[in-house]
Amino acid sequence: MSYLLALDQGTTSSRAVIFDRRGRARAQAQQEFTQYFPKPGWVEHEPEDIWETTRRTAIAAVADANLTGAQIAAIGLTNQRETTLLWDRATGKPLARAIVWQDRRTAGMCARLKKAGHEVLFRRKTGLLLDPYFSGTKLAWLLDHVPGARRRAGRGALAFGTVDAWLLWKLTDGRIHATDATNASRTLLYNLCTGGWDEELLEILRIPRTVLPEIRSCSEVYGEVSSIPALRGVRIAGVAGDQHAALFGQGCFRPGMAKNTYGTGCFMLLNTGAKPVASKHQLLTTLAWKIGERTEYALEGSVFIGGAVVQWLRDGLGVIARSGDVEELAARVPDNGGVYLVPAFTGLGAPHWDAEARGVIVGITRGTTAAHVARAALESISYQVADLIAAMEADAGLKLRELRVDGGATVNAGLLQFQSDLLRRAVVRPRVAETTALGAAFFAGLAVGYWKSRDEIAALWRADRTFRPKAAAAAVARGQRDWRRAVDRAKGWAAG
Ligand SMILES: Nc1ncnc2c1ncn2[C@@H]1O[C@H](COP(=O)(O)OP(=O)(O)O)[C@@H](O)[C@H]1O
Ligand SMILES: O=P(O)(O)OC[C@H](O)CO
């Protein structure tokens, strides 16, 4: 009997999951790691933490399932996207901490590029916007600010990578410097039409081609693990950004199917098929995946603060001790008592793209309690997702029948019920909660013949629970109107 090992390197933790042929999780290990916030708006990770937690969880999951490397048919890798690393090719040493996708330090650079009239070009070629979220300006920042980096890069001494490329490098002792097309599509440097790095964009951002990894597909044998003795020789056969892997793991194979992941942020992806669809509502055009020579596309709505608002209640406000306690706290009140919280802690992503927006809590009265704030915090997650769906349906000219959901915050049934109330349609949680890891396993499994086809994989998807709308339409409409008023107050705040 053989199994697949999925490595899911996320924003707050690294996870390793062992899957069997029926797509069931047999063992799992998870480790959190330190988040660094050196200045307001900056978010960093220690590259060694990213690698060490990945290495340790891989070993732990295999040991927990009582397996040896010989029983692992392949490894699928998936990762937090856009987070940017730069390291020395000779020593493998990072030049700086990784700049995390949430980091806003390049807001000024993005504003200058916009002012110089470049946004239309970037939008047309990459499907993205000039926002600090994406890797391109983060890489330019590293080249400009780490002493000697530009000179060394010019000599070909440095390697850039998103987290997938960093882990591929570490897993293979520096034998592979590659990324997959989905991760590449989040850099601002990848041309959606040619499927390669774009010379004109590289020039505008002053990025030397020598630092860039080779771009490969999501489902192919990249190489073998050499750096972890227990897994030596196991093939790495799947690589994809985590949201793309979740779309695949949710079996959203046909155009018109969508998923939303509720993790640190919220990411909704809608499969749009063989052609990229340009957004008129500030969504991103991105890759769904590339398998063989065939590329499929998606529309994406990215919300920066989703489940992280619960972490803020825990670590920032201190009104709960554990994330799960938010459910009991919010349930102490029958409704939000007129309180709305807009968690624009790092600006607002889709569909607003306002880097200057900041968080607000409005509607506070003498009777407001921590429970109302907790409730408003949870509701803000669902409101943001509802705004994404509205933009997406307008762009794609369709109405979604249902929304498939996954991610850490989907343990919260109240949240999903409220989501269904807002959307007025079914919200479906699958039986396998680790959809992102499952998608990575699917990519790897298809490459090595563990599974034969997408049809075989699609048949493995099973619903756990379906949430259907219950609330009165008038109350929902009132709430949405007040939510929009609250969002207006958050916009532009940091600009003064
Ligand atoms: N009961 C809960 N209700 C709402 N959010 C929760 C709950 N439990 C955990 N979360 C949130 O889920 C997120 C973790 O989800 P996960 O998918 O592991 O995130 P990531 O992959 O981004 O690290 C955290 O932001 C956490 O605050
Ligand atoms: O690590 P997650 O699950 O929060 O996902 C992060 C996204 O890939 C960022 O774009």
Q: Where are the domains of the chain?
A: 3-243
The full 3-state SS of the chain, as one line of letters, equals: CCEEEEEEECCCEEEEEEECCCCCEEEEEEEECCCECCCCCCCEECHHHHHHHHHHHHHHHHHHCCCCHHHEEEEEEEECCCCEEEEECCCCCECCCEECCCCCCCHHHHHHHHHCCCHHHHHHHHCCCCCCCCHHHHHHHHHHHCCCHHHHHHCCCEEEECHHHHHHHHHCCCCCCEEEHHHHCCCCCEECCCCEECHHHHHHHCCCHHHCCEEECCEEEEEECCCCHHHCCCEEEEEEEHHHHHHHHCCCCCCCCEEEEECCCEEEEEEEECCCCCCCCCCEEEEEEEECCEEEEEEEEEECCCCHHHHHHHHHHCCCCCCCHHHHHHCCCCCCCCCEEECCECEECCCCCECCCCCEEECCCCCCCHHHHHHHHHHHHHHHHHHHHHHHHHHHCCCCCEEEEECHHHHCHHHHHHHHHHHCCEEEEECCCCHHHHHHHHHHHHHCCCCCCHHHHHCCCCEEEEECCCCCHHHHHHHHHHHHHHHHHHCCHHHC
Ligand nearest to the Cα of 268, by number: 2
384 in contact with ligand 2, CB cutoff 6 A: no
Binding positions: 11-13, 15, 81-82, 133, 242-243, 264, 307, 311, 408, 412
Best CATH choice for the domain 3-243 from the list 3.90.550.60, 3.30.420.40, 3.40.50.2000, 3.50.50.60: 3.30.420.40
What is the 242 CA–ligand 2 centroid distance (Å)? 6
Ligand 1 centroid, distance to 71 Cα (angstroms) = 31
Of ligand 2's atoms, which has the minimum distance to the CA of residue 9? 1
ipTM here: 0.97
pLDDT tens per residue across all 496 residues of the chain: 799 999 999 999 999 999 999 999 999 999 999 999 999 889 999 999 999 999 999 999 999 999 999 999 999 999 999 999 999 999 999 999 999 999 999 999 999 999 999 999 999 999 999 999 999 999 999 999 999 999 999 999 999 999 999 999 999 999 999 999 999 999 999 999 999 999 999 999 999 999 999 999 999 999 999 999 999 999 999 999 999 999 999 999 999 899 999 998 999 999 999 988 888 888 999 999 999 989 999 999 999 999 999 999 999 999 999 999 999 999 999 999 999 999 999 889 889 989 889 999 999 999 999 999 999 999 999 999 999 999 999 887 888 889 999 999 999 999 999 999 999 999 999 988 889 999 999 999 999 999 999 999 989 888 899 999 998 889 999 999 999 999 999 999 988 7
